[in-house]
Amino acid sequence: MSIGKLDMAEECLKYAVDYSGLLLLYSSLGDAQGISQLATLAKEQGKNNVAFLCLFVLGKLEDCLQLLVESNRIPEAALMVRSYLPSKVSEIVAIWRKDLSKEDLNEQATILSW
């Protein structure tokens, strides 16, 4: 990368399955299509942290939220909607309460209110 062979760098990062490196490369280049493809690939491979960052960089907040819920990161989803998607707060809090009830944390579910 330091000598400007970005195509080769991309190929090497793909071959090495270095999703973080690809995210760095694509975001540095402003390659929205590359970031979008990386989001899909990272999600398929269970690399949700990279997938989330890709979606967030692309401004796909609804997809970020869906990824958090699908990966059972409900508290993080609640914090995200509070900041970025306030219209979804009640929906996510309901999911969080239901999740706490499943885990026999009814007292915490009762306390949880926004």
Residues 55-114: tens digit of each pLDDT: 999 999 999 999 999 999 999 999 999 999 999 999 999 998 888 877 665 555 555 554
Q: Are 31 and 23 in contact (CB under 8 A)?
A: no
Contacts of residue 7, Cβ cutoff 8 Å, sequence gap at least 6: none
pTM exceeds cut of 0.95? no
Residues 54 and 66 occupy one common structural domain? no
Domain that holds residue 39: 1-59
Q: How far apart are the first and last CA of the chain?
A: 48
Residues 39 and 72 occupy one common structural domain? no
Residues 28 and 68 occupy one common structural domain? no
Residues 32 and 78 occupy one common structural domain? no
Residues 85 and 42 occupy one common structural domain? no
Residues 72 and 106 occupy one common structural domain? yes
Residues 34 and 48 occupy one common structural domain? yes
Residues 35 and 51 occupy one common structural domain? yes
pLDDT tens-place string over residues 34-69: 999 999 999 999 999 999 999 999 999 999 999 999
Residues counted in the chain: 114
